[in-house]
A and B are shown apart, each in its own frame.
Chain A
Amino acid sequence: MPTSILCNEQIPLLRGEGRYIDDIKFSDMLHVAFVRSPYAHARINNVDTEVAKRQPGVVAVLSGLDIHADIQPIRPLLKNSGFQATNWHAIAWDKVRYVGEAVAVVVASDRYIAEDAAEHVIVEYEPLPVIDSAATGMLADSARVHDNLNSNILLETQSGLDKDDTAFKKGDIKVRANFRHPRVTGIPIENCGVIADYRANTDELVVWSSTQIPHVLRDALCDSLGISAHQIRVVAPDVGGGFGTKMQALPEEIVVSHLARLLHRPIKWTQDRMENIKASFHARDVLVEAELSANIDGTIVGMRAKAICDVGAYNSFPLTAGLEPFTIGSALAGPYDFEYYSYEGYAVSTNKCPMGAYRGVGFVLGPMVMEGLLDKLSQKIGMDPALLRKKNLAQPTDFPFKSPAGPIYDSGDYPALLDLALEESDYSAWRNLQSEARNEGRLLGIGMSCFIEMTGMGRDTYRKRGMVNVPAFDAARLQVDRHGHLEAFISTPSQGQGQKTTFAQLISSTLGAPLDDIKVHLGDTATTPYGSGTFASRSLVSGGGALLKAAEMLQDKLVRIAAAYWQVDNNDLQYVDGRIFNPNQSSEHLSLKDLADLAYTPFQELPPSVEPGLSVHVSYNPPPAVSSSAVHMALVEIDKNTYEVKIKDYVVAEDCGTKVNQAIVEGQVRGGITQGIGIALLEELSYDSEGQLLSGSLMDYLVPGIYETPAIKIVSMETPSPWSVGGFKGVGESGTIGAPATITNAILDALEVSAQDIQLPLTPERIFRLKNKTKS
């Protein structure tokens, strides 16, 4: 380890033999299309489905009223006094609250017919005032998104506001700025999809979904449909990327499941890209106003920040609208050590598509804000940005380190990581290039950011946040068959991150079994044990941790079987490299296959404490969080005429603890950075004041292509976590967290301006404005 073992699970995908949701077909399957609201906020006065129902090929057309009595609204909870729950009906029946909200569903023999018939559903809307932004929604006299709530603020959280702020006030210098992260979405190249099939003879509803959270989705379906978990099986087949946007329960998943039970036919819904952009989950849309206080020597004294998050129309399941404000609050201090920190965060509902998770969540705001302010401070006091950072980073001797923002970090060596990045980028050479460029009148800039990512979060963290719908543990079942072959069943499925290979490597290295003898199963509630699923960079920490514990338990059992066989003491035996040696006869050993034989055949007498067979199941509650860290550095050039940004060089120094597969880690980092580049330069879901989405296709919502994405150099350190089983720290989101800040800082450096009111993405037009405002 960390060997870059190739991923066998990719072979069928390369051949075009993957089995994604839209590839699954049943002979008597029906297809659905949803009728969606063109209004952001309106009362539904009538839904006339008669004409639609008469179209040839149409099997059923249902409005919100038709299903109202049978389906409970999506209503995730948060145990927090500042929280307000919302009722999200899978099909709206009284009011619509965002453009794209479903108002009816058409079931037909094929998708073309369903979509045609959807055009014949006549809905009478009575438009209502639109709450078009968080700023509007927070006004005391604002119209309400939900009439039954006290205000549009779905969550309010604060920390440190009551603390003594003398130190903060006393700081020699204050720098402040506003940072706006655009509303974005994940754009997995596979859109979402679901197929539900109800088998009346066994009273079982089988739901195939492109979900990241099969078990938690099953919980959601139980709540909505009012049936038990044992009546539902959720299967995630091959999934074409998730990035957090597939970890929320979709209203469509609930409707399709209901239809399968109602019509006793398999029902399929494949989301199209327009639906994905308009009516699947959005993310971020945050304004952070922040102020840093520091001394003239560059020592940070404190930070004050306020985050306002536009969370759209409803709380999404399972994380709720609390996700961003909570995460931002714990992320802003990053890897730095200082005295004073206060924060207030608000989640404000508006007439826009609901928010969910997207790679990096509020952690992206951590470096965006802190690193932006640090660059501003460095300009003010005339200190090199790298030096300023070094001065304030937590030291390796500080661990466990309590961040000023609250969370406790387990381990790391931030100064060494910064040095590594400076060395790899050849920072002083970059600065030389920059002065040359400036002499020639070119706009060349250097950006850096130091940050941490809290990953694999366990029950403590979710309990503190009050997120009751997240189990926050994961589980593994590991078994050896009677021929010594291994099978593992793990609760954290894959959306392309190579878990099957990583997990097989873990089993192979701990049990000394060849990779070919190991099979890993993921993504099926009928076979995998209950657990949270894949999100928040938790797969290896939480699922891998459970697996390692299972392997340990299995080894323990193997030792006891061998002890019984040789009639020796357990303590005299050790399972090493796939076998156990006889302490009295060193030429004699038992292999995994021999031991399996003893465990399965009835000939070996086992002590009462050892059950026959070889199967173990372990649930693992990971630490509150383990924190991986990274430093990103970018060299960018802005075209003087077009204001187009070219990333000329990009360097990453990262530390995600113990690694299993180097290539998979690098793939996560590079893919993550690419999405971060999108946030920095391209991606933005914009709405007009009527709540109409203006960027509803991939021609308006631009994601990075191969041209916009530079080659990225990665250098690594390994500081194993002392807290997690295996020393793992997650790394799935790290790239996305660091890139927006790094690129923004590089652009500001190129323009020689300091952060004031930063709105991402930095499109050529915005860069032009940044430059010319300061010059005039």
Chain B
Amino acid sequence: MVQDTTNNSRLIKLTVNGVLYERKVEPRVTLVDFIRGELGITGTHVGCEHGVCGACTVIFDGQPIRSCIMLAVQADSHSVQTVESMSSGEQLHPIQQAFWENFGLQCGFCTPGFLLTVQDLLSRNPDPTDTEIREELSGNICRCTGYQSIIAAVKQAAIYMRQE
């Protein structure tokens, strides 16, 4: 919990995964710290805090953004989706399912950022080529897999989603 020592807090309202939250927050608190620390929704990860690794990717008003370089107050009256929004109950989202079946993750720390970036990609391009996948995922670092299984997973996910 970020304690207000500067008496500078603003009241913000934002929707996270369909739930409206109203909180007081210091202007300097990053969106990812707010979501993880204040709201306790911890699926979004912090890998670098300087906008390079993509682990903190969330969907902001329908666009993937890096929540480590955005402030929570900037998200006032906006809507955010995190990885927790993907699966419905027990059922994995087809992208999650495809990552699982293709060993598209090892430690899983980068995974939420990849999943949401892929969700955005497939919403715009239901049948991406290898080159397009590389292009779109070039802002996400995975240090474990070597990416090949991630590319396979994206292609599989595209098939699953086209079948739906």
Q: Do A and B bind each other?
A: yes
A residues neighboring B (CB under 8 Å): 4, 6-7, 10-11, 13-18, 20, 22-23, 25, 55-57, 109-110, 112-113, 116, 186-191, 238-241, 243, 272-273, 495-498, 663-664, 666-667, 669-675, 697-699, 703, 705-707, 709, 711-712, 735
- Which residue among B112, B139, B150 has the maximum number of chain A CB atoms within 10 Å of its CB? B112
Cβ contact within 8 Å between A706 and B1? no
| Residues of the B chain whose Cβ atoms lie less than 8 Å from the Cβ of A11 | 92, 100
Encode B76-112 as 1/0 by CB contact (under 8 A) with A: 0000001110110000100010011101011111111
| Residues of the A chain whose Cβ atoms lie less than 8 Å from the Cβ of B139 | 705
Cβ contact within 8 Å between A18 and B138? no
Q: Does B47 contact A (CB under 8 A)?
A: yes
| Residues of the B chain whose Cβ atoms lie less than 8 Å from the Cβ of A666 | 103
A-B contact pairs, 21 of them (CB 8 A): A6-B103, A16-B42, A16-B44, A16-B83, A57-B3, A116-B5, A188-B143, A189-B144, A238-B108, A241-B109, A272-B49, A663-B103, A670-B147, A671-B145, A672-B146, A697-B50, A698-B52, A698-B53, A705-B141, A709-B148, A712-B148
The smallest beta-carbon distance between A504 and chain B, in angstroms, is 16
Cβ contact within 8 Å between A14 and B92? yes
| Residues of the A chain whose Cβ atoms lie less than 8 Å from the Cβ of B141 | 189, 698, 703, 705
| Residues of the A chain whose Cβ atoms lie less than 8 Å from the Cβ of B37 | 110
Cβ contact within 8 Å between A15 and B84? yes
Closest B residue to A674 by beta carbon equals: B146
Q: Does B122 contact A (CB under 8 A)?
A: no
Q: Does B115 contact A (CB under 8 A)?
A: yes
The smallest beta-carbon distance between A278 and chain B, in angstroms, is 13
Given contacts A10-B105, A14-B105, contact A667 B146 (CB under 8 A): yes
Cβ contact within 8 Å between A7 and B109? no
Partner of B144, one of A16, A20, A667: A667
Cβ contact within 8 Å between B143 and A699? no
- Which residue among B5, B45, B144 has the maximum number of chain A CB atoms within 10 Å of its CB? B144
Cβ contact within 8 Å between B43 and A241? no
| Residues of the A chain whose Cβ atoms lie less than 8 Å from the Cβ of B133 | 706
Q: How far is the CA of A109 from the CA of B143 in the complex (A)?
A: 32
Cβ contact within 8 Å between B47 and A189? yes
Q: Does B46 contact A (CB under 8 A)?
A: yes
Q: Does B40 contact A (CB under 8 A)?
A: yes
Cβ contact within 8 Å between B96 and A20? no
Cβ contact within 8 Å between A496 and B100? no
- Binding site secondary structure of chain B: loop
Cβ contact within 8 Å between B83 and A20? no
A-B contact count (CB 8 A): 183
Q: How far is the CA of A188 from the CA of B109 in the complex (A)?
A: 9
Cβ contact within 8 Å between A190 and B47? yes
Partner of B48, one of A56, A110, A273, A496: A273
The smallest beta-carbon distance between B45 and chain A, in angstroms, is 7
Closest A residue to B37 by beta carbon equals: A110
Given contacts A109-B3, A110-B3, A113-B5, contact A497 B106 (CB under 8 A): yes
Cβ contact within 8 Å between B145 and A667? yes
Closest B residue to A16 by beta carbon equals: B43
Encode B109-152 as 1/0 by CB contact (under 8 A) with A: 11110010000000000000000011001111111111111110
The smallest beta-carbon distance between B99 and chain A, in angstroms, is 6
| Residues of the A chain whose Cβ atoms lie less than 8 Å from the Cβ of B138 | 705-707
Q: Does B73 contact A (CB under 8 A)?
A: no
Q: How far is the CA of A80 from the CA of B15 in the complex (A)?
A: 62
Cβ contact within 8 Å between B84 and A189? no
Q: How far is the CA of A55 from the CA of B5 in the complex (A)?
A: 9
The smallest beta-carbon distance between A185 and chain B, in angstroms, is 11
Q: How far is the CA of A4 from the CA of B137 in the complex (A)?
A: 26
B residues neighboring A (CB under 8 Å): 1-3, 5, 26, 28-29, 36-37, 40, 42-50, 52-53, 55, 82-84, 86-87, 92, 96, 99-101, 103, 105-112, 115, 133-134, 137-151
Cβ contact within 8 Å between A4 and B107? no
| Residues of the A chain whose Cβ atoms lie less than 8 Å from the Cβ of B55 | 189
| Residues of the A chain whose Cβ atoms lie less than 8 Å from the Cβ of B111 | 13-14
Cβ contact within 8 Å between B143 and A675? yes
Closest A residue to B103 by beta carbon equals: A663
The smallest beta-carbon distance between B52 and chain A, in angstroms, is 4
Q: How far is the CA of A240 from the CA of B144 in the complex (A)?
A: 9
Cβ contact within 8 Å between B106 and A15? no
| Residues of the B chain whose Cβ atoms lie less than 8 Å from the Cβ of A191 | 47
Q: How far is the CA of A709 from the CA of B147 in the complex (A)?
A: 7
| Residues of the B chain whose Cβ atoms lie less than 8 Å from the Cβ of A272 | 49
Partner of A16, one of B26, B82, B140: B82
| Residues of the B chain whose Cβ atoms lie less than 8 Å from the Cβ of A23 | 36, 42
The smallest beta-carbon distance between B147 and chain A, in angstroms, is 5
The smallest beta-carbon distance between A402 and chain B, in angstroms, is 34
The smallest beta-carbon distance between B28 and chain A, in angstroms, is 7
Closest B residue to A25 by beta carbon equals: B40
The smallest beta-carbon distance between A523 and chain B, in angstroms, is 13
| Residues of the B chain whose Cβ atoms lie less than 8 Å from the Cβ of A190 | 45, 47, 107, 109
Q: How far is the CA of A13 from the CA of B100 in the complex (A)?
A: 10
- Which residue among A112, A238, A672, A707 has the maximum number of chain B CB atoms within 10 Å of its CB? A112
Given contacts A10-B108, A706-B137, contact A241 B144 (CB under 8 A): yes
Partner of B106, one of A671, A699, A709, A712: A671
| Residues of the A chain whose Cβ atoms lie less than 8 Å from the Cβ of B103 | 4, 6-7, 663-664, 666-667
Q: How far is the CA of A82 from the CA of B115 in the complex (A)?
A: 51
| Residues of the A chain whose Cβ atoms lie less than 8 Å from the Cβ of B42 | 16, 22-23
| Residues of the B chain whose Cβ atoms lie less than 8 Å from the Cβ of A10 | 100, 105, 108
| Residues of the A chain whose Cβ atoms lie less than 8 Å from the Cβ of B46 | 22
Partner of A112, one of B2, B82, B134, B150: B2
- Which residue among B1, B26, B48, B150 has the maximum number of chain A CB atoms within 10 Å of its CB? B48
| Residues of the B chain whose Cβ atoms lie less than 8 Å from the Cβ of A674 | 143, 145-147
The smallest beta-carbon distance between A560 and chain B, in angstroms, is 41
The smallest beta-carbon distance between B156 and chain A, in angstroms, is 13
Closest A residue to B29 by beta carbon equals: A112
Q: How far is the CA of A469 from the CA of B49 in the complex (A)?
A: 35
Partner of B3, one of A20, A113, A671, A672: A113
Partner of B43, one of A17, A698, A709, A711: A17
The smallest beta-carbon distance between B86 and chain A, in angstroms, is 8
Closest B residue to A116 by beta carbon equals: B5
Cβ contact within 8 Å between A240 and B45? yes
Q: How far is the CA of A670 from the CA of B147 in the complex (A)?
A: 8
Partner of A496, one of B40, B45, B106, B137: B106
| Residues of the A chain whose Cβ atoms lie less than 8 Å from the Cβ of B142 | 189, 706
Partner of A189, one of B5, B53, B149: B53
Given contacts A240-B45, A663-B103, contact A670 B145 (CB under 8 A): yes
| Residues of the B chain whose Cβ atoms lie less than 8 Å from the Cβ of A238 | 107-108
Cβ contact within 8 Å between A15 and B96? yes
Q: How far is the CA of A4 from the CA of B100 in the complex (A)?
A: 12
Cβ contact within 8 Å between A16 and B107? no
Q: How far is the CA of A671 from the CA of B106 in the complex (A)?
A: 9
Known A-B contacts: A23-B42, A112-B29. Give 12 more (CB < 8 A).
Answer: A14-B96, A14-B99, A16-B82, A18-B108, A20-B109, A22-B46, A112-B28, A189-B110, A667-B103, A698-B52, A705-B140, A712-B148
The smallest beta-carbon distance between B150 and chain A, in angstroms, is 7
Closest B residue to A697 by beta carbon equals: B50
- Which residue among A57, A110, A188, A706 has the maximum number of chain B CB atoms within 10 Å of its CB? A706
Given contacts A15-B96, A16-B82, A113-B3, contact A706 B145 (CB under 8 A): no
The smallest beta-carbon distance between A710 and chain B, in angstroms, is 8
Cβ contact within 8 Å between B143 and A243? yes
The smallest beta-carbon distance between A424 and chain B, in angstroms, is 16
| Residues of the A chain whose Cβ atoms lie less than 8 Å from the Cβ of B92 | 11, 14-15
| Residues of the A chain whose Cβ atoms lie less than 8 Å from the Cβ of B146 | 667, 669-674, 709, 712, 735
Cβ contact within 8 Å between B107 and A496? yes
Given contacts A272-B49, A706-B140, A707-B134, contact A495 B107 (CB under 8 A): yes
Closest B residue to A8 by beta carbon equals: B100
The smallest beta-carbon distance between A243 and chain B, in angstroms, is 7
Q: How far is the CA of A672 from the CA of B146 in the complex (A)?
A: 8
